[in-house]
Structure 1
Amino acid sequence: MNQPVAHGHDNFRYDPLLYNADLAPVPAARRDWNWFNMATVWMGMVHNVVAYEAAAGLMAVGFSALQCLYIIGTAYLALCVAMWFNARSGTRYGIPFCVIIRSSFGPRGAMIPIGLRAICAIFWFSVQAYAASQALNAILSILWPGWAHLDHVVAGQSIQMWLAMAMMWALHGVIGAHGVHRIRNFELYAGPLVLVVAGVASAWAIYVCHGVGPLFDQPSQLHGTTLWLKFGSAVTSIIGIWASYAVNIPDLSRFVRSQRDQVIGQAIGLPLTAILFTPMSIFITSATVVQFGYPIWNPVDILVRIDNTALTLVGGATIIIAALSVNVAGNIMPAAYDLLSIFPRQFDFNRGSKMVLFLGIGAVPWLWFDHPENIYMVLNVIASTLAPITGIMLADYYFIRRQVLQLNWLYVFSGPYHGRNGWRMSALASMLVTLFFLYGAQIFHMSALINSMSWFVGVALSGLIYVILNYRTRNA
């Protein structure tokens, strides 16, 4: 192993495999995000195509508009609580998720949750960027008549879409390659703009339906036990959109100047904005039932169906801005941190963000836009996979560490967080047992109730096992 290098005022020697400038604690003087910055970043992330489609798709699978609102409210309340608590360590110590997770999993064991989180971030980047590519394709089809002739299929995609994807990937690269502060500045404008356009679209929905009343006239297709099991599963699916950020919210909160700012910013940016935005998608989808006779949950399909040039240009541009907004802060940034944590000598933030763009092609996002059931299936898998990591992080920071971390020891292969050869088996065992239980319940149909509440069960079970193991053993 390479010899550790000296760093810091106390001359503590950090290992180069665990430390670089991007992973170092952010000094208090550089933590310049206030509550408004945090709120606008969240506003930009909440207003995204997957969140829209997931909420709108609830009607396509049988829920009424009012039931959809209950589902959204329940999911975002649970998310808000988990993120408030998990963000505190980032704000207090100025360190990202990929460093904090070493406290519970050990410096080598941390590579497993970091890798899982990176895979989720790259997948979501790819899906969001593909949705933006669809919008760009619709815009170019209107502006350039010759674009429609580029319809030859290559590798499962038309040339139109391959070109649109290339342009969108390049645009993501330009915005994401300039670090966290460029991302913050972009979100100052993107988040509020998307909310304004979504409000205009909601006004269209109310106009089409001649008032708010008809938006809620579509009856539920689900009843009895099926309704409640589907309700729980839908809540878990909505949580799945943000389950990854329940894990790595410290990547953002490390730049916030105080706990008060991160709490207020998240309260405004996440639940409040989500409660405003997601009903808009439900209203719009309900209006498509009135206008066209069936629910249309993909916003690009709505633009194409309405066939209005001005609306397609404005709506398509908004979808693109929304995708850029969530991707640069919610997917590219955390995935870049994860990659440079796994390969600290090969990557810095800029190289990591470029690698995210490259790996995103491998997620083949066009396979996930056929039916709303596909999105819910993926969301449930993500929620189930990341729930144990959330539970372990919360249990470690609040019950085992009592909110006190020794920063220097998080950057070396020794000390209180090292475990056995860099692996803390209590965390690994808690995660594996919980995942075995959750996926076993799904594969063998052990309990419909467990399957419908997989995220909640995963957080609680993994946290409980982790606390028990660490109270019973000295060297976890």
Structure 2
Amino acid sequence: MSSKTITISNPDPSLYNEDLAPIPNEKRTWGWGSYSMIWMGMIHNIVSYELAGSLIAMGMSVWQALGAVILSNIALIIAIWLNSAGGAKYGLPFPVLIRASFGYKGAHVPVLIRAFVAIFWFAVQAYAGSKAVGAVITVIYPKWVSLGAHTFLGMGLNDWISFGTFWLLHAWVISHGMERVRRFEMWAGPLVIVLGLGLVYWAVNVADGFAPLFSIESKLSGGEFWKSFFLSVTGMIGVLATLVLNIPDLTRFSKSQKDQVIGQAVGLPIMMTFFAFMSIMITAGTIIAFGKPITDPVELLLQFKDQPIVVLIGAFALLIATLSVNVVANVVSPAYDLINLLPSKLNFVKAGIISIVIGVFFAPWLWFNNAATIFNIVGAIGGTLGPVSGIMIVDYFLIRRSQYDLNSFFVKEGQYTYRNGWNLRAFVAMGIGVIVALIGLVVPSLQTLYTYNWFLGIAVGGISYLILMNSKHKQNVLRLVEEKVSIK
């Protein structure tokens, strides 16, 4: 089915505008290389580095940490591939596609939850990136640190200026639309690989070879290890849980299904594992060099303050990397979500700017440095969004058999109307999935379940939806049979 040959008949203005409409074939210009570079830009950032490095800080060996990274990437790429297909086939973004399962009104609920989570992550990444800005300025102007004595709302003046500068860089990229985003990603991702390889060289040199880095022993064993292992896996999945949902926002620009499948395979599991491997090796090197694990790459760069060129180049690379992931993963998605809410008033640029303004109010500087808090948050995010992902995947492949009625997405009297625009079965399935995924947080005897929250959420949400929708189908068949019998 090609969006080039399909015309939307009399679309409702409250459900349709240019940004939500199917991308025509001639404008689907993203090849596999574009997706590879975009994913490199999204995963090569400060938060991803810290999460991978923190596995060593938690007491894992290098091999154990790599195992957690590989398992999380396998789970992610499978879910992402499955949810990418509808966007690549129909050229539609996530806020439109989810109308098929939740109804045109009901879709607003998961869409706004996803937008809330994405804006939250924008705030986290913006603050992390602003630390790199501060590091650059400190090298150029050492007295910069003294401005920190003047505090406002929990943050020093120097940090406010760094944060504001980084925020404006986001606004500049967003202001030129999605094509500027794609071009920016094409060179931002590889830049961080260069920095990472340089730091790996440093770690190997400090340790006098690879062997000492791999010989760091695990401090975890038995049940304690497995609990930490799977919590780490679900935590790393939680970081990209929003991408599992909003990946159609990107694959709608793909030249073909093959391009997005190959590009994402290269960009996510392969490059993410490589990047995490570098992070883990570098963190292991900091244990040997400084007697303690340093998981914050900005803090690590500042250990080289007697080599300002190293700090400047490294901080610039981190800044660009964090800017790239923030725009693609945490601005593109809520922008489309807000457009879906007010299609007659918003376009991509306006909605993107609104998203980054809202992000400031999350005030990440007040809690960012609490590692336990961050892992709990990302775990809860994965558990909440997992059921929605499961519902979308089941709806597309098992309920719709990969066939959507394109026109019904943009009218109020179509296949996705359900009951006044709400599919209550989807909400029941979502509720069941979220309860099962997060119940371990509040019921101590079921705490083990929380260790696997994302996996449970996506599976239970999807299966519950399949059962509920099949029961609806059976009811409809019985009703039709009864009608025919009564006619006879």
The answer to whether the superposition gives a TM-score over 0.5 is yes
Aligned twin of 2:392: 393
1:205 to 181, 203, 206: 203
Offset at 1:441?
2.4
Offset at 1:9?
6.8
- 5+ residue gaps, structure 2, are 477-488
Give the structure with higher Rg (CA). Answer: 2
One-letter amino acid matched to 2:20: L
Give the number of equivalent residue pairs. 469
Contact map agreement 1:138 1:316 (CA 8 A) in 2? yes
Q: Note closer, same or farther for the CA distance 1:247–1:16 as it changes in structure 2 (3 Å cut).
A: same
Q: Secondary structure at the match of 1:33?
A: coil
One-letter amino acid matched to 1:185: R
Offset at 1:22?
0.3
Instruction: Measure the CA separation in 1 of the matches of 2:47 and 2:8.
Output: 47
Aligned twin of 2:26: 29
Instruction: Measure the CA separation in 2 of the matches of 1:368 and 1:53.
Output: 15
Instruction: Measure the CA separation in 1 of the matches of 2:8 and 2:93.
Output: 22
Contact map agreement 2:154 2:366 (CA 8 A) in 1? no
Q: Secondary structure at the match of 1:363?
A: coil
One-letter amino acid matched to 2:51: A
1:158 to 152, 156, 159: 156
Contact map agreement 1:16 1:345 (CA 8 A) in 2? yes
Alignment of 1:148-227 (within 5 A): 148-151=145-148, 152-227=150-225
Aligned twin of 1:18: 15
Aligned twin of 2:100: 103
Aligned twin of 1:279: 277
Aligned twin of 1:373: 372
Q: Note closer, same or farther for the CA distance 1:165–1:19 as it changes in structure 2 (3 Å cut).
A: same
The question of 1:127 aligning with 2:124 is answered yes
Q: Note closer, same or farther for the CA distance 1:395–1:212 as it changes in structure 2 (3 Å cut).
A: same
Instruction: Measure the CA separation in 2 of the matches of 1:341 and 1:282.
Output: 40
Contact map agreement 2:42 2:329 (CA 8 A) in 1? yes
Instruction: Measure the CA separation in 2 of the matches of 1:418 and 1:220.
Output: 54
Alignment of 1:268-417 (within 5 A): 268-307=266-305, 308-417=307-416
One-letter amino acid matched to 2:223: T
Aligned twin of 1:451: 450
Aligned twin of 2:485: none
Structural RMSD (CA): 1.4
Q: Note closer, same or farther for the CA distance 1:381–1:10 as it changes in structure 2 (3 Å cut).
A: closer
Contact map agreement 1:101 1:110 (CA 8 A) in 2? yes
2:139 to 137, 142, 156: 142
Alignment of 1:412-423 (within 5 A): 412-423=411-422
Offset at 1:10?
4.9
Aligned twin of 1:61: 58
Once the two structures are superposed, what CA deviation does each residue of 1:228-276 show, in whole Å capped at 9, x if it has no partner?
A: 1211111101111111111111010000010110111001000110111
One-letter amino acid matched to 2:313: V
One-letter amino acid matched to 2:262: I
Contact map agreement 1:186 1:325 (CA 8 A) in 2? yes
The question of 1:88 aligning with 2:85 is answered yes
One-letter amino acid matched to 1:395: V
242-251 vs 136-145, greater mean Cα deviation: 136-145
Contact map agreement 2:23 2:92 (CA 8 A) in 1? yes
Contact map agreement 1:229 1:448 (CA 8 A) in 2? no
Instruction: Measure the CA separation in 2 of the matches of 1:311 and 1:345.
Output: 49
Percent identity between the aligned chains?
Answer: 40
One-letter amino acid matched to 1:271: P
One-letter amino acid matched to 1:103: A
Instruction: Measure the CA separation in 2 of the matches of 1:123 and 1:201.
Output: 30
**TM-score of the aligned structures, taking structure 2 as reference length:** 0.94
417-426 vs 59-68, greater mean Cα deviation: 59-68
Instruction: Measure the CA separation in 2 of the matches of 1:281 and 1:175.
Output: 27
Aligned twin of 1:241: 239
Contact map agreement 2:41 2:324 (CA 8 A) in 1? yes
Instruction: Measure the CA separation in 1 of the matches of 2:297 and 2:198.
Output: 14
Q: Note closer, same or farther for the CA distance 1:228–1:11 as it changes in structure 2 (3 Å cut).
A: closer
Q: Note closer, same or farther for the CA distance 1:226–1:11 as it changes in structure 2 (3 Å cut).
A: closer
Instruction: Measure the CA separation in 2 of the matches of 1:314 and 1:346.
Output: 42
56-65 vs 389-398, greater mean Cα deviation: 56-65
Instruction: Measure the CA separation in 2 of the matches of 1:221 and 1:11.
Output: 60
370-379 vs 313-322, greater mean Cα deviation: 370-379
Contact map agreement 2:94 2:247 (CA 8 A) in 1? yes
Aligned twin of 2:440: 441
Instruction: Measure the CA separation in 1 of the matches of 2:173 and 2:278.
Output: 28
Q: Secondary structure at the match of 1:17?
A: coil
Instruction: Measure the CA separation in 1 of the matches of 2:467 and 2:47.
Output: 37
Instruction: Measure the CA separation in 2 of the matches of 1:142 and 1:38.
Output: 35
Instruction: Measure the CA separation in 2 of the matches of 1:272 and 1:429.
Output: 36
The question of 1:429 aligning with 2:428 is answered yes
Q: Note closer, same or farther for the CA distance 1:10–1:181 as it changes in structure 2 (3 Å cut).
A: closer
* Deviation beyond 3 Å, 4+ runs, structure 1: 8-11
Instruction: Measure the CA separation in 1 of the matches of 2:135 and 2:113.
Output: 34
Offset at 1:107?
0.6
Contact map agreement 2:386 2:454 (CA 8 A) in 1? yes
Q: Secondary structure at the match of 2:331?
A: helix
110-119 vs 430-439, greater mean Cα deviation: 430-439
Instruction: Measure the CA separation in 2 of the matches of 1:365 and 1:306.
Output: 27
Instruction: Measure the CA separation in 2 of the matches of 1:374 and 1:442.
Output: 13
Q: Secondary structure at the match of 1:190?
A: helix
The question of 1:50 aligning with 2:47 is answered yes
**TM-score of the aligned structures, taking structure 1 as reference length:** 0.96
Instruction: Measure the CA separation in 2 of the matches of 1:423 and 1:331.
Output: 27
Q: Secondary structure at the match of 2:361?
A: helix
One-letter amino acid matched to 1:463: G
Aligned twin of 2:480: none
Instruction: Measure the CA separation in 1 of the matches of 2:51 and 2:8.
Output: 50
Instruction: Measure the CA separation in 1 of the matches of 2:464 and 2:353.
Output: 38
Q: Secondary structure at the match of 2:444?
A: coil
Q: Secondary structure at the match of 1:473?
A: helix
